[in-house]
Structure 1
Amino acid sequence: MASPLTTWPWDNLGLFKYLLYGPLVAKVVHEMFYVEDSNLNSLWCFHLLILTGLRGFLHVLWNSYSNMLFLTRNRRILQHGVDFKQIDQEWDWDNFLILQTIVASMAYYMFPFLQNFPLWNVKGLLVVLLLHVGVSEPLYYWVHKKFHGHYLFTNYHSLHHSSKVPQSLTVGNAAVLEHLILTVIIGIPIIGATVIGYGSASLIYGYVLVFDFLRCLGHCNVETIPHKLFETFPFMRYVLYTPTYHSLHHTNKDCNFCLFMPLFDKIGNTLNKESWQLHKTFSSGNGSRVPDFVFLAHIVDVTSSMHAQFCLRSFASLPFRTRLFLIPFWPIALLSLFAMWVWSKTFLVSFYYLRSRLHQTWVVPRCGFQYFLPFATDGINKQIEKAILRADKIGVKVISLAALNKNESLNGGGKLFVDKHPNLRVRVVHGNTLTAAVILDEIPKNVEEVFLTGATSKLGRAIALYLCRKRVKVLMLTLSADRFQRIQKEAPQEYQSFLVQVTKYQAAQNCKTWIVGKWITAREQNWAPRGTHFHQFVVPPILPFRRDCTYGDLAAMRLPQDVQGLGSCEYTMERGVVHACHAGGVVHSLEGWTHHEVGAIDVDRIDVVWKAALKHGLRPVSSGSNMETN
């Protein structure tokens, strides 16, 4: 049985918990439209709603900043990413705002002096400061130490410490009892100043928002306070804590208990002696680790650009789909993309650990449609080249290119960059070898004939050559006899007859296995017989027009169970699933291969890469058991 005041009364309400604000909204509407002598200063519930909104927005902004790795990577304290478990655990992080709003609305009726207060009173600032330093700070320090006792920690405070990577939203991840006590600690200076006649609206707004700001600062996991401040003014070390200072408390629970002022840890002999030296290290930008592997992704469209952890962490942790709440933010996202194009820098969006190797994702700030504009080719290649050279400079071992970043017509599957910079230490990988392996694995072993569109592309060529060696007849749809013949000649003499050129979709009207590498319309799909399965490696995926047929997903693999710090979904993929080309780069890094994987796919390496992927715990999302597994 759970201890009292550990769970929230509205835990089972889901989104309906926000209806708890309904009475306050009704009170505001009534007073504004039906009470003649009401004014802005007397609308206590109105101020509560505004203040709650500002507080929530403040926490979200801090969370966004913490996850902007392109700005904060060198000053991150804990290098781990925020994983799905922590995100789910902190999903209802704003419960404390509901609680404190309810308590404050009750205080309106309990304390008559709150029913009318001035907009501004300078004397109140001094009183609040004195009460905070003299009462709230030592009270919090004492209570916090008590919560680290065995019973209180086990039953209450351990929930807060279960978040491995502190972030601003971690502030709300605590038991109800803790938030009730914190509400009292926040309320003491405000009520104290108001009781002696120095209260004001600006005092309440200012104190609460500064209080939240400093809590977010401590939990942000990014060192934002320059060490020169403490070197110039040594006394400031005991007046203002730092993110490094507070992170030490999360990793070492027997030190640094203060609210905002390390002075009380100094007095109580609980100050971690490494606090200042570590603070200097992180604030100087010397605490970051260089990733072994980088995946260079790209934006699909403006809406999908908001599917990043630094926008909405909870939204990024779910497979992407367009939602109504995104529409108002579309202009902001578009302006941000324009700014990134002007800035012209590749930026980081997420990272995680895979078997103790830091794995990061960088994004080229270009929308999908731009890759098909001829005049945009040079600009896109320039940004990809900058990313590769930057990875090479900082010591990255492998950089893998996402779908459009390795387009054959754009840069020959990455070959352009390898030829231009022959002395690259970083290995450039397109990952298509594993993509081909995943597609081939989906094809059942007993298949005797397949129909292949996009047959002369990198993937189409490799799939055709692999299947013909398995004595599978491949109907290759292409109008170019020369390109077909070049591919056919690559096959061993005894297997060349299994490759057949066709020029019309009608040729596949009796074939139930279609491998689609080129977008096809409903009319073209109608040539497939009933019961056909459409395997595909075309971007974007084809639309499922036929109800009497089945459609495969894009080639993807599920990451191994020991992945740590993964907290965002890759576009529309499920949690823990990545596109096969992404997984191909991961395998390249884990195996420590020293060759570049660019240009045409080496068919002889398809089985090698596949076995390596399975060895490291990666698994195909769907499988037809056509590939060798031993």
Structure 2
Amino acid sequence: MTAPFSNWPRQNLGSNKYFLYGPCAAQVAQLWWKGENITNSWCFHIMLLCLLRYAIAQLWHTFCNMHFLSQKRRILPQGVDFKQIDHEWHWDNFIIFQAFIGGIMCCMLPSLTNYGTVWDTKGLIAALVLHMLVSEPLYYWMHRLLHSNTHLFNAYHSAHHASPVPQPFTAGNATFFENILLLPIMGIPLLGAALVGCGSLSLVYVYVLVFDFVRCMGHSNVEVFPHQIFEALPFLRYLIYTPTYHTLHHTEKASNFCLFMPLYDLLGNTLNGKSWELQKQISLNARKNEKVPDFVFLAHVVDISSAVHVPFMFRSFASMPYATRLFILPIWPIVFLVMFAMWAWASVFTVSFYNLRNRLHHTWVVPRFGFQYFLPFATKGINQQIEQGILSADRMGVKVLSLAALNKNEALNGGGVLFVKKHPNLRVRVVHGNTLTAAVTINQIPKDVKEVFLTGATSKLGRAIALYLCRKHVRVLMLTSSMERFLKIQKEAPVDCQKYLVQVTKYQAAASCKTWIVGKWITPREQNCAPPGTHFHQFVVPPIFHFRRDCTYGDLAAMRLPEDVQGVGNCEYTMDRGVIHACHAGGVVHSLEGWTHHEVGAIDVDRIDIVWEAALKHGLRPI
């Protein structure tokens, strides 16, 4: 049995809650259709104000999660995981609720809300005074009461503190009862200014937006104030809180109860003594190098629409496997323009990180889109950016850097060989991770299979899979038109196993083989050559179409991270939560094992089982 007013009345609506904006939107649309001035309608201002409030929260979120901008000033080092994201999924309930209350006020008290004045400085001063003398102590008293009473805390406030890492969205994530209490906190300054005849339209915008801005700042987990400000003007410590100040409240819960002004914590004897020293320490540390990760995964953007599937854009979208959504379409032109800016900037940047067994793992991104890798004139520039990432990691002291799919393209840089040869004294180990990709693909094949059909047979992965399977006395039909390349691979096999490698030049040769391993993209027409009941294993990018209803299709080689991984809050492209591509996992294993060799170029077939066993030992599991 939940406590009264702890759940939101519209809790079961889910995403349909946004239809509650419908009446306001309909009135604005009606006025626009009639040719009337929509700015004279309070519905228009409620809608615009809500939109601006969403923008403030989103911009703070973007800043906090652009780790290449904010990681040096982070207060709590851990990342935000899926559990917290799901817990804060409906963080914006308070915006809808306050818009509803604002609409009621406009209907019931038109004299108070009919602001004919656009700007009135006296009103701003009146609201500021009322906020400092009434709202701040009232909030302090109510907030402290919620913490001091165990029943009240568990029933109404523990949900807010259930988020281990404060984020801008955490500011709005609270129970219905807490948001009822917040109404007088925000309402008293606005109504008070209106009652004394100093109300104005701009006051509503300024007060509400500044209120949200400061709340998001306090929950940002990024220290934005340099300590020198408080050393030069010590009284400011009690007039404005800092993100460090508020984070201490979230971690220790027994102090720092103020809204925005630590003055009331000082008067109430609840000021945490570590507040300013910790703030200074974080500010000073910002000048130093950030904590160096053991492992870096050097990823790349796939296409323009998937470029928004990153943690610093739409958090909820990034926490689900990528799929094209309608809301992406309006921002497609913006992302297209950003693409050109990224070309001009051409710098590797960090987008996410997580903790695997107390080791920090970063994901860096080369700002190039998938189609660019197939432009001949872009090869040199892409390699330069990858090289820049490798050298940056080497200077920082990173131990292992793993290359994502197109960043290790054979035609681009020989699977990383180019960089290792050019820089023979690299301390960072460059890894393509394909050994584990081969291992995952091989271990998906049933043990009783005696024959497979392999496309992309002479590629890096195709060669390794063919050589491994022939050693297990599995007959491999290798699709290739090049007799020279086939013979070269066949000669690598043990003499007594070479007979298990068979060259074929047409798809029809696999008409009776029900195990296909696809390493080169095949059309629906070519899939028709497979007999009914065939299973298509694949290591081709992009994946093939699921055309045959009488056949089954495997996903790209991937592994699930261990349950104890911390800070994973975004999905890797189309992969499920907690699942990463096998080549990414290969770099992780390389780092955890402490191997000191580069894994570039051709795959060492003798290491396939070694890498597989190491992955399982560290808790990674096949899908």
Q: What TM-score does the superposition give when structure 2 sets the normalisation length?
A: 0.97
Answer whether contact 1:83 1:567 (CA < 8 A) is retained: yes
Q: For residues 244-275 of structure 1, what are the alpha-carbon distances to aligned partners after superposition, in whole Å with 9 as ceiling and x for unaligned?
A: 11111111111211111112222222222222
Q: How do 1:340-359 residues align onto structure 2 when only pairs under 5 Å count? A: 340-359=342-361
Equivalent position amino acid for 1:163 in 2: S
Q: Could you say which residue in structure 2 is the equivalent of 1:158?
A: 158
Report the CA distance between 1:584 and its aligned residue: 0.7
Answer whether contact 2:561 2:620 (CA < 8 A) is retained: yes
Q: Could you say which residue in structure 1 is the equivalent of 2:514?
A: 512
Q: Could you say which residue in structure 1 is the equivalent of 2:146?
A: 147
Answer whether contact 1:427 1:596 (CA < 8 A) is retained: yes
Answer whether contact 1:348 1:360 (CA < 8 A) is retained: yes
Distance in 2 between residues matched to 1:32 and 1:570, nearest whole Å = 43
Q: Could you say which residue in structure 2 is the equivalent of 1:236?
A: 236
Of 327, 330, 354, 2:329 maps to 327
Distance in 1 between residues matched to 2:303 and 2:35, nearest whole Å = 49
Report the CA distance between 1:49 and its aligned residue: 1.7
Q: Could you say which residue in structure 2 is the equivalent of 1:465?
A: 467
Q: Could you say which residue in structure 1 is the equivalent of 2:217?
A: 217
Q: Could you say which residue in structure 1 is the equivalent of 2:12?
A: 12
Describe the SS at the equivalent of 2:555. coil
Answer whether contact 1:281 1:287 (CA < 8 A) is retained: no
Q: Could you say which residue in structure 1 is the equivalent of 2:123?
A: 124
Q: Could you say which residue in structure 1 is the equivalent of 2:95?
A: 97
Work out whether 1:256 is the aligned partner of 2:259: no
Q: Could you say which residue in structure 2 is the equivalent of 1:305?
A: 307
Report the CA distance between 1:341 and its aligned residue: 1.8
Name structure 1 gaps, 5 residues minimum: 622-630
Report the CA distance between 1:114 and its aligned residue: 2.0
Q: Could you say which residue in structure 2 is the equivalent of 1:540?
A: 542
Equivalent position amino acid for 1:478 in 2: T
Distance in 2 between residues matched to 1:255 and 1:175, nearest whole Å = 21
- Bigger drift between 17-26 and 545-554 goes to 17-26
Distance in 2 between residues matched to 1:558 and 1:282, nearest whole Å = 35
Report the CA distance between 1:31 and its aligned residue: 6.5
Q: Could you say which residue in structure 2 is the equivalent of 1:443?
A: 445
Equivalent position amino acid for 1:99 in 2: F
Q: Could you say which residue in structure 1 is the equivalent of 2:584?
A: 582
Indicate the RMSD between aligned Cα atoms, in angstroms: 1.7
Work out whether 1:55 is the aligned partner of 2:65: no
Equivalent position amino acid for 1:131 in 2: L
Report the CA distance between 1:187 and its aligned residue: 0.6
Equivalent position amino acid for 2:544 in 1: I
- Bigger drift between 256-265 and 275-284 goes to 275-284
Describe the SS at the equivalent of 1:324. coil
Answer whether contact 1:113 1:194 (CA < 8 A) is retained: no
Distance in 1 between residues matched to 2:405 and 2:234, nearest whole Å = 52
Summarize the Cα distance change of 1:247–1:460 in structure 2 as closer, same or farther, 3 Å threshold. Answer: same
Equivalent position amino acid for 2:105 in 1: A
Distance in 2 between residues matched to 1:144 and 1:374, nearest whole Å = 62
Summarize the Cα distance change of 1:5–1:447 in structure 2 as closer, same or farther, 3 Å threshold. Answer: same
Answer whether contact 2:416 2:431 (CA < 8 A) is retained: yes
Q: What TM-score does the superposition give when structure 1 sets the normalisation length?
A: 0.95
Q: For residues 425-468 of structure 1, what are the alpha-carbon distances to aligned partners after superposition, in whole Å with 9 as ceiling and x for unaligned?
A: 21111110110001001111111111111111110111011001
Name structure 2 gaps, 5 residues minimum: none
Describe the SS at the equivalent of 2:360. strand
Report the CA distance between 1:208 and its aligned residue: 0.6
Describe the SS at the equivalent of 2:99. helix
Summarize the Cα distance change of 1:466–1:189 in structure 2 as closer, same or farther, 3 Å threshold. Answer: same
Counting aligned pairs with the same residue, the percent is: 67
Distance in 2 between residues matched to 1:346 and 1:104, nearest whole Å = 45
Describe the SS at the equivalent of 1:351. strand
Summarize the Cα distance change of 1:375–1:112 in structure 2 as closer, same or farther, 3 Å threshold. Answer: closer
- Bigger drift between 597-606 and 234-243 goes to 234-243
Q: Could you say which residue in structure 2 is the equivalent of 1:597?
A: 599
Q: Could you say which residue in structure 1 is the equivalent of 2:105?
A: 107
Work out whether 1:613 is the aligned partner of 2:615: yes
Answer whether contact 2:112 2:195 (CA < 8 A) is retained: no
Q: Could you say which residue in structure 1 is the equivalent of 2:399?
A: 397
Distance in 1 between residues matched to 2:520 and 2:388, nearest whole Å = 30
Distance in 1 between residues matched to 2:283 and 2:324, nearest whole Å = 38
Summarize the Cα distance change of 1:34–1:464 in structure 2 as closer, same or farther, 3 Å threshold. Answer: closer
Describe the SS at the equivalent of 1:451. strand
Of 453, 456, 466, 1:454 maps to 456
Instruction: Report how many aligned residue pairs link the two structures.
Output: 619
Q: Could you say which residue in structure 1 is the equivalent of 2:42?
A: 44
Report the CA distance between 1:141 and its aligned residue: 1.2
Equivalent position amino acid for 1:95 in 2: N
Distance in 1 between residues matched to 2:146 and 2:159, nearest whole Å = 11
